[in-house]
Amino acid sequence: MPRPPEHPSLAASLVPDDPTLDDLVAAAAGCRACDLWSRATQTVFGAGPEGADLMLVGEQPGEREDVEGAPFVGPAGKVLDRALAAAGIARERAYATNVVKHFKWTPRGKRRLHQTPNVAEQAACRPWLEAELAVVRPKVLVALGATAATSLLGRGFRVTRDRGRFVESPLAPYVLATVHPSSILRARDDDERHLAMEGFVADLAVAASVLDGGDRASAGGEPEP
């Protein structure tokens, strides 16, 4: 079961008792637990089946997600879709969400550039993520990127060191971290992008290895006895 929030917040007071995902979406739409709502178009809550056996957690919605109101629908979401397919995971079986539910950005001319949410903003939004975990109860939880990984697994966790292997956590039976798909878009050239995508798919394949009743696997892809 997920850990309770260490510091109750406004968001915690908004979470309904015994909610469904639809209840959470409706309640989060008016969340003002931190200041990010004031510059965002809308709350971008998670999406996917309530009984999903796989839960994907990123950092925050991007500009496309902010406009459309759904997670992972922009360029990074397309990379994620391709990687999931390559790893043998149907996107529709996964519940996808973010640590923070509002787009944090800074202006650059006419563009809105992503800014990483700080620790206080992540903590303010934590009750929503806790509620999603409690409702979905995934078998496998995958943190996408450093912000999601440290928010879920602690500040000592390093994606560069620990990616692609299961770690002990009370959040789900199987928990691992990998890179955020947006990092693949930032690769310097096609060769680097290809290698980054291969690594991302390999990490997701570890998650796939325990879906559908599979045995626990290591980052090398071999089931442990």
* Total tally of structural domains belonging to the chain: 1
- Structural domain including 196 reads 10-211
Report the C-alpha gap between 107 and 66 in whole angstroms: 15
Is residue 195 assigned to a domain? yes
Give the CATH number for residue 82. Answer: 3.40.470.10
In order of 49, 109, 125, 156, the CA distances from 96 in angstroms are: 9, 31, 16, 24
Is residue 60 assigned to a domain? yes
Q: Which amino acid is at 93?
A: R
Is residue 105 assigned to a domain? yes
Q: Note the pTM of the prediction, 2 decimals.
A: 0.90
Is residue 155 assigned to a domain? yes
In this predicted model, what pLDDT tens digit does every residue of 23-69 receive, in sequence order? 999 999 999 999 999 999 999 999 999 999 999 999 999 999 999 99
Mean pLDDT of the residues in the chain: 91
Is residue 3 assigned to a domain? no
CB 164 within 8 A of CB 176: yes
In this predicted model, what pLDDT tens digit does every residue of 127-160 receive, in sequence order? 999 999 999 999 999 999 999 999 999 999 999 9
CB 48 within 8 A of CB 95: yes
Is residue 222 assigned to a domain? no
Q: How confident is the model at residue 181 (pLDDT cuts 50, 70, 90)?
A: very high
| Tokens (6 digits) for 29 | 């739409």
